[in-house]
Structure 1
Amino acid sequence: MNDAHILTTEGLGKDFLGFTAVDDVTLKVRRGTIHALIGPNGAGKTTVFNLLTKVHQPSRGTMTYDGRDITRAKPAQIARMGMVRSFQISAVFPHMTALENVRVSLQRKLGTSFHFWRSEASLRVLDERAMELLRMVGLDRYATTEVAEMAYGRKRALEIATTLAQEPKLMLMDEPTQGMGREDVARITALIREVAKSRTVLMVEHNLGVVAELCDRITVLQRGAILTEGSYAEVSADPRVREAYMGSAA
């Protein structure tokens, strides 16, 4: 693998009961960039994410991450290697505080990831780092707020903090601005730009304004296959992309 690329796939494909959801996807994600997967509904974007994080095993093709073949790796192995995913639906604990959520994500450093019975005192050593992460995403003033009481945009920011707690080299972000108002979109866009300064981001995103503002390179999927790839200016000028999104090349 070219060391410039943190993630590559070659001929990646996935079939479900005779239906081809992903077909011959060859993807190259450069280190230190923000790379977007875009395409109309049903294009195969989330299935590609599911293959990368091993929710599904590929039917064919290979995947290489950080110089290692991960085609048959297990999900936990992928996460330990530093490829961490956030989901479309906020995946935080609603009846815990923001601080407690981040602290749970930090527990793997203590080897207590699944030991919820451990004394709270044993986790307090993580508070300093948890607060640092909350400050990074602008949530330090909400440290003791129960997540269920937080606005949607702040919940998504908290999810980014819990993802960062796992020290990812590559963050896979699935629709990070979905369902947000303009103010929250602007906040999360700025946050993604900030966290991407020291890591690579691969994102699925429907908001093309966000894609245009953030992304260094864009891969357009249609019917499970790559339609085109390039900068935002290049892909937005492609009549096939306009046709895929709007049903017309005009």
Structure 2
Amino acid sequence: MPLGSSDVTTDIILSTSGLTKEFGGFRAVNGVDLNVKRGTIHALIGPNGAGKTTCFNLLTKFLPPTKGAIVYNGQDITREQPAEIARKGLVRSFQISAVFPQLSAKTNVRIALQRKRGDSFDFWRPEKVLRELDEEALHLLDAVGLSAFAALTAGELSYGRKRALEIATTLALDPEMMLLDEPMAGMGREDVERVEALIRKVSKNRTILMVEHNLSVVASLSDHITVLARGQILAEGDYATVSKDPRVIEAYIGSGGGHGHH
């Protein structure tokens, strides 16, 4: 496990304090203090109804918290909008990348690159600029293993390759921290292996926080794991530590396993 040197351990890129979300008196997330270290792959796991998705939606600003605070890179982002935090380098994959199914893989990445530059979507621009964007788009497609599929429309790609394209469009924004919402959902084994290798590759020089149900993926990718149950942190640590924790075993078995959504 690439845990890095001791200076990394003191460097928290994203933290929450007392993060709470109530829906009509029900506390889906209840006083969560989360600390994500810079440069790590951090997984958020837990059985059904544990509040993982709600917590993730709070972090990515899709939902406002009932109370508590969220700090990213030393700045309080509790009240900021998704677009504001994206500009600061905190990007939720599959948020940007409502991939355009009728456009080619290359064009999808090029549109994301234009967005990163803050360009409007007008296509009347100097040939030189378009050529540079094309080159950069091809470079990103190559990084996610899609070179051979650049000319195919996004709609024609297999499910796993669509997810790879979404990661490429996220990478086009060059985020410092990527939030991945169940990147392996609905994938066959071959696609899982491909996307797992891809996440490991793109995690170099950036931080990744992911919600993931596939525990073998969590085991092989994560430096650090936070286990939620009933909206609260039940356990934290590396996979070996949390998987042996009797409370974690009880939470998973007691709730009928970790499948499904909340």
Specify the TM-score bucket, using the shorter chain as the normaliser: over 0.9
Cα 1:67–1:236 change in 2 (3 A) is: same
Counterpart position of 1:118: 123
SS in 2 for 1:9: strand
SS in 2 for 1:102: helix
**Alpha-carbon distance in 1 for matches of 2:238, 2:63:** 29
SS in 2 for 1:92: coil
**Alpha-carbon distance in 2 for matches of 1:56, 1:124:** 39
The alignment yields a C-alpha RMSD, in angstroms, of: 1.8
Answer yes or no: is 1:245 the counterpart of 2:255: no
**Alpha-carbon distance in 2 for matches of 1:116, 1:107:** 7
Answer yes or no: is 1:134 the counterpart of 2:134: no
Counterpart position of 1:182: 189
Q: Can you give the 5+ residue segments of structure 2 that lack an aligned partner in the other structure?
A: 1-8, 256-262
Count of residues paired in the alignment? 245
Counterpart position of 2:114: 107
**Alpha-carbon distance in 1 for matches of 2:94, 2:10:** 28
Whether the 8 Å CA contact 1:39–1:220 is kept in 2: the answer is yes
**Alpha-carbon distance in 1 for matches of 2:80, 2:35:** 19
Counterpart position of 2:209: 202
Q: Shift in Å at residue 170 of structure 1? A: 0.5
Answer yes or no: is 1:152 the counterpart of 2:169: no
Whether the 8 Å CA contact 2:20–2:67 is kept in 1: the answer is yes
Q: Shift in Å at residue 140 of structure 1? A: 1.0
Q: In structure 1, which of residues 15, 31, 36 is the aligned counterpart of residue 43 of structure 2?
A: 36
Counterpart position of 2:170: 163
| Aligned sequence identity (%) | 64
**Alpha-carbon distance in 1 for matches of 2:217, 2:94:** 17
Instruction: Give the letter aligned to residue 46 of structure 1.
Output: T
Q: In structure 2, which of residues 15, 22, 34 is the aligned counterpart of residue 15 of structure 1?
A: 22
Whether the 8 Å CA contact 2:94–2:170 is kept in 1: the answer is no
Q: Shift in Å at residue 128 of structure 1? A: 1.1
Q: Can you give the 5+ residue segments of structure 1 that lack an aligned partner in the other structure?
A: none
Q: Shift in Å at residue 118 of structure 1? A: 3.2
Q: In structure 2, which of residues 1, 10, 13 is the aligned counterpart of residue 6 of structure 1?
A: 13
Q: State the TM-score, normalizing by the size of structure 1.
A: 0.93
SS in 2 for 1:36: strand
Q: Shift in Å at residue 108 of structure 1? A: 2.3
Counterpart position of 1:192: 199
Instruction: Give the letter aligned to residue 136 of structure 2.
Output: R
**Alpha-carbon distance in 2 for matches of 1:131, 1:179:** 27
Counterpart position of 2:6: none
Q: Deviations over 1:201-246 (max 9, x none)?
A: 0000000000000100000001111111111001000111112112
**Alpha-carbon distance in 1 for matches of 2:49, 2:107:** 36
Instruction: Give the letter aligned to residue 73 of structure 1.
Output: E
Instruction: Give the letter aligned to residue 64 of structure 1.
Output: V
SS in 2 for 1:198: coil
Answer yes or no: is 1:96 the counterpart of 2:118: no
Instruction: Give the letter aligned to residue 99 of structure 2.
Output: V
Q: Shift in Å at residue 119 of structure 1? A: 2.7
Counterpart position of 1:48: 55
Whether the 8 Å CA contact 1:82–1:167 is kept in 2: the answer is yes
SS in 2 for 1:236: helix
**Alpha-carbon distance in 1 for matches of 2:20, 2:83:** 22
Whether the 8 Å CA contact 1:3–1:67 is kept in 2: the answer is no
**Alpha-carbon distance in 1 for matches of 2:181, 2:228:** 15
Q: Shift in Å at residue 38 of structure 1? A: 0.2
**Alpha-carbon distance in 2 for matches of 1:64, 1:110:** 26
User: Which consecutive segments of 4 or more residues in structure 1 shift more than 6 A?
Assistant: none
